[in-house]
Chains A and B, each alone.
Chain A
Amino acid sequence: MMMATMDSPPLPRPVRVLVAKPGLDGHDRGAKVVAAALRDAGMEVIYTGLHQTPEMIATAAVQEDVDVVGLSILSGAHMTLFPRVRALLVEMDRPDILLTGGGIIPAEDIESLMALGVGKLFGPGTPTGDLIAYINDWARTNLTA
């Protein structure tokens, strides 16, 4: 599951990712599995812990100077939480940070969120290799040293 970067040029530095659980939803199995998989793929990963507000997440993303924020949302609140985090990142002058994530999110909601500037969102059953490949592809064109 870590072969995505094998035949591509190396990145200038490891990608920094903030994995976050916004809202009151406590289901963190997916967030922890993803955080561990991204770390094992060579990324620098910070996990926020549970019950974070959008403000806490955006502030942590800027302070930690991450490249990517990944939100895990299984609560149905994705149409509130993704746009809020995205708006806060723009407000804090960091629209360049890739906002991605996953959870239980209907296909038509994914389309609406992508139209708002949110990156790709992943549903149940996604292999972790797909997330790693997506972030690495993004990093190859967007990451600066």
Chain B
Amino acid sequence: MTVHVPDDTTDQAAEITRLRAELESWKAAALGTRQRAADFSTISGLPIEPVYTALDTGAPAPLPGNYPYTRGIHPTMYRGRLWTMRQFAGFGTAEDTNARYKFLLERGQTGLSVAFDFPTLMGYDADHPRSEGEVGKCGVAISSLADMETLFDGIPLDKVSVSMTINGPAAILFCFFVAAAERQGVDIAALQGTIQNDILKEFVAQHAWIYPVEPSLKIIVDLFEWTSTHTPNWNSISISGYHIREAGSTAAQELAFTLVNGFTYVERGIARGLDVDQFAPRLSFFWDVHNDFFEEIAKMRAARRIWARHLRERYGATDERSLKMRFHCQTAGVSLTAQQPLNNVARVAYQAMAAVLGGTQSLHTNAYDETLALPTEHSVRVALRTQQILAHETGVAHSADPLGGSYLVEALTDRLEEEAEAIFAEVEAMGGTVAAIEAGWFQREIAQSAARFQAEVETGGKVVVGLNAFVEDDEQPIDILRIDESAEVEQRRRMVAMRASRDESLVASRLAALEAAGRDDRNIIPAMLDCARAYCTLYEIRHVLEEVWGAYREPVFF
């Protein structure tokens, strides 16, 4: 331990002794009488001391912009440029969602984020029998290049950055996107945005998978390779803790499971023969921001430090862009309550502030009605305005890492780093990430944490306002967005029209070429992009590769 003292002539050991004595007498005088009968642990269960001092922290972290970037990846942080306000949106048909995007852009949103419906997330066309009842319900239905063109109609893809939350069929949707940009006449090298493309966390938590683990990883490395030369400003992956946390993990598990997934992608890229500095600068991350304010800030600070250290020391990265963890944050959907839904506005605001104090590059703030339905225009506007108030009224964006040096935040940052390193060692002992997934280890750990939290809520150990405390007996329902079946009918009609107007022999030959690329173990992206250009559908592309690789089968347990 090093205690930071203002006067370098002071003897370190004597100062530590003095601080310890001061703390002990403070504890003897202050504690025992004036503490509420409450749970003083974090939402994840980490114990929190009544006060933190210099005894709890190490040497001061280097300044923002300096390795290992605990205090932020940019020297001036938001003083240089505010975070990107990027609201995740999508519902109904591509036309419906295109209108919502224009609504958000006109109101000062600075980037787009596509929510796809479940059929699209699983690689099914809107007119596939398995899609029935789910088309356009939880996101937008995109079954071919034609839908992607409609989705971005009138939105210049070389100007607006786009994030796409898609994983199992990520490469297919990315090819639709690139082909749509080509149709707009845009230079694809100028494309900016992110494809989530994080299949490991699908196996761990979110469950929108298609192929078995190994071919799924192969496609991801194909995309790393292709994007590094063709779309150099595109983030080829968003390694996501969000879904792991929402499925029930603790903050430390979110941090560690996500980072081991990240390390696995780095190892696979290197195993392909890629130079780590060729693809690591375009790896990005995605964190959940939950209710526990300081724990969340500490998690993001620890994440940056761990990533930088491992990339440099374990994987030999030298380009500082490879070491700098860039990330998106979303406030925690799972923290919101269906009871007294307007209370969620307050939860979202605190979470958003934690994301900013944690140094996020972009942010989605949830709408207060998320536990009831997809958000209305009213609720998304409140969510966006919450970010604008944070950016322009609270003053939190004036100074980089304003909580750096806080005894509590620094101690929690160290603690989360230690917890994460212990989990890395545990995963390694099991034979690595893929072995742990196939054994269902991550999945069980998450389910156990979820059950533990549920029990704490039901016994009142953890207070949830409006749910197990401060309950209202007579609640009035609020207006919600309803997605009717017309989107499904309209989307099926569009599919029929699209199929009738395309060149079927071209479709067949492009699909055959893709299948051959899969069988020959070549990079599949060029052949897949050719399929997209020929208006092959999502399911047609999914299916030819399923013929080559088969499908993933989950280990079922509870």
Contacts and interface: CB of A to CB of B under 8 A. Distances in A.
A50 B206 CA distance: 11
Interface string A81-106: 10000000000000000000000101
A51 B458 contact: no
B134 A76 contact: yes
Contacts of B337: 124-125
A62 interface: no
A24 B464 CA distance: 30
B546 to A, nearest CB: 14
A128 B207 contact: no
Contacts of B458: 1, 127-129
B495 interface: no
Interface string B200-220: 001000111000000000000
B121 A24 contact: yes
Contacts of A33: 248, 447, 450-451, 454
Contacts of B121: 24, 26
A128 B454 CA distance: 9
A32 B207 contact: no
Contacts of B133: 23, 77, 79-81
Given A76-B134, A76-B138, A79-B133, A25 B118 contact: yes
Contacts of B371: 104, 124-125
Interface in A1-55: 1, 19, 23-29, 31-33, 35-37, 39, 45, 47-51, 53
B558 A45 contact: yes
Interface string B280-313: 0000000000000000000000000000000000
Contacts of B246: 29
Given A24-B130, A76-B483, A81-B133, A32 B138 contact: no
Interface residues of A, number: 38
Interface residues of B, number: 43
A123 B337 CA distance: 10
Per DSSP, chain A at the interface is: loop
A5 B467 CA distance: 24
Contacts of B447: 29, 32-33, 36
A48 B138 CA distance: 22
Contacts of B338: 123-125
- Give the one of B121, B246, B467, B558 with max A CB within 10 A: B558
B368 to A, nearest CB: 13
- Give the one of A24, A53, A127, A128 with max B CB within 10 A: A24
Interface string B96-128: 000000000000000000000011011010000
- Give the one of A26, A81, A125 with max B CB within 10 A: A26
Contacts of A29: 246-248, 334, 447, 450
Contact of B556 (A25, A48, A53, A81): A48
A77 B137 contact: yes
A51 B131 CA distance: 11
B470 interface: no
A51 B122 contact: yes
B131 to A, nearest CB: 7
B376 to A, nearest CB: 13
A50 B552 CA distance: 12
A50 B122 contact: no
B436 interface: no
A116 interface: no
A136 B216 CA distance: 44
A44 B214 CA distance: 35
Contacts of B50: none
A23 B558 contact: no
B119 to A, nearest CB: 6
A23 B134 contact: yes
B547 interface: no
Nearest to A28: B207
Given A24-B124, A32-B447, A50-B207, A104 B373 contact: yes
Contacts of A77: 118, 133-134, 137
A80 B118 CA distance: 14
A25 B138 contact: yes
A26 B467 CA distance: 25
Contact of B339 (A23, A24, A80, A125): A125
B445 interface: no
- Give the one of A27, A36, A51, A129 with max B CB within 10 A: A27
B544 interface: no
A142 interface: no
24 contacts: A19-B558, A24-B121, A24-B130, A26-B207, A26-B208, A28-B247, A32-B451, A32-B558, A33-B451, A36-B451, A39-B558, A75-B118, A75-B137, A76-B138, A81-B133, A104-B372, A104-B373, A106-B482, A124-B338, A125-B337, A125-B338, A125-B467, A128-B458, A129-B458
Interface of B: 118-119, 121-122, 124, 130-134, 137-138, 202, 206-208, 246-248, 334, 337-339, 371-374, 447, 450-451, 454-455, 458, 464, 467, 477, 480, 482-483, 554, 556-558
Interface of A: 1, 19, 23-29, 31-33, 35-37, 39, 45, 47-51, 53, 75-77, 79-81, 104, 106-107, 123-125, 127-129
Given A24-B118, A25-B118, A80-B132, 4 more contacts: A19-B558, A24-B121, A24-B134, A28-B247
3 A-B pairs with the lowest CB-CB distances in the bound complex, closest first: A80-B133, A26-B207, A76-B137
